[in-house]
């Protein structure tokens, strides 16, 4: 029997935020774009039938991305695409490899962190991350993931985590500081390079190569 837990959003949300779409922008699902302009960041190329929408919370905590239909565990909830490479880490950057960061387009940068998230990430053919349901997700439920699923270290968030999860670990930490049990919980739904960076041999080889 399927158990739907946390089916009610914990926050109260205002009506949908309608993302602006630049003239001529493609609405194709999961397509790749060579666009690198910052102005085409979040809110663009979001098809109406994507199954997710952006809403502004009334508690002043900012935006949240909600499911507009149910998703089964293991289903792809959002197809990721990159809009440009970055020269370093920042508060909206996604780590895409050891020492490499990039910016995701669409609503992905608006998905909030949780220490007990309902989504994980999976690298796709465009070297971006899809969001995958870790558990059944109901329509109206806020989508969350753990920033530690993509970033080895977290350098640009306050020390205190405000996710509100019962199992909140207290601060938004990166993969490097994630307890081993949580790493096991997340299984394959994390950036693959993170497990490579867990391997002390990899660091030794990198150091030996002068990297
Ligand atoms: Zn937390």
For residue 112, the CA-to-ligand 1 centroid distance in Å is 10
State the distance from the centre of ligand 1 to the C-alpha of 182, rounded, in angstroms. 13
Give the whole-angstrom CA distance, residue 81 versus residue 31: 7
CA of residue 122 to ligand 1 center, whole Å: 21
pLDDT digits (tens, 9 = 90+) for 146-175: 999 998 888 776 678 888 899 999 988 899
The pLDDT tens digits of the residues spanning 126-147 come to 889 999 999 999 999 999 999 9
Q: Does the 30-208 domain belong in CATH 3.30.43.10?
A: no
The predicted model scores a pTM of: 0.76
Compute the distance from residue 173 Cα to the ligand 1 centre, in Å.
9
Long-range contacts of residues 28-35, Cβ cutoff 8 Å, at least 24 apart: 29/79, 30/79, 30/80, 30/81, 30/124, 30/126, 30/130, 31/81, 32/81, 32/82, 32/126, 32/128, 33/81, 33/82, 33/83, 33/105, 35/83, 35/84, 35/105
Domain-by-domain residue ranges, the chain? Answer: 30-208
What spacing in Å lies between the alpha carbon of 204 and ligand 1's midpoint? 32
List pLDDT tens digits, range 19-65. Answer: 544 444 443 333 333 333 333 344 444 444 579 999 887 666 678 99
| Angstrom distance (rounded) from CA 147 to CA 154 | 8
CA of 165 to the centre of ligand 1 (A): 6
Q: What is d(CA 77, CA 130) in angstroms, rounded to the nearest whole number?
A: 7
CA of 143 to the centre of ligand 1 (A): 14
Ligand 1: centre distance to CA 95 (Å): 20
Distance of CA 166 from the midpoint of ligand 1 (Å): 8
């Amino acid at each position: 029997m399927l158990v739907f837990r946390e089916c009610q959003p914990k926050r109260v949300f205002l009506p949908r935020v309608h993302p602006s779409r630049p003239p001529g922008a493609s609405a194709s699902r999961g397509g790749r774009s060579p666009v690198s302009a910052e102005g085409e960041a979040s809110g663009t190329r979001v098809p109406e039938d994507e199954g997710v929408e952006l809403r502004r919370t009334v508690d002043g905590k900012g935006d949240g991305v909600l499911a507009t239909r149910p998703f089964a565990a293991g289903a792809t909830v959002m197809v990721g695409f990159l809009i440009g490479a970055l020269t370093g880490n920042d508060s909206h950057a996604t780590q895409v490899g050891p020492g490499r960061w990039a910016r995701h387009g669409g609503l992905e940068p608006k998905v909030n962190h949780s220490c007990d998230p309902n989504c994980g990430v999976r690298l796709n053919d465009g070297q971006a991350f899809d969001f995958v349901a870790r558990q059944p997700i109901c329509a109206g439920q806020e989508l969350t993931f753990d920033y530690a699923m993509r970033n080895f270290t977290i350098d640009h968030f306050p020390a205190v985590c405000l996710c509100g999860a019962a199992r909140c670990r207290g601060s938004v930490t990166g993969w490097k500081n994630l307890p081993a049990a949580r790493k096991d919980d997340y299984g394959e739904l994390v950036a693959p390079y993170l497990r490579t960076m867990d391997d002390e041999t990899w660091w030794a080889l990198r150091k030996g190569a002068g990297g």
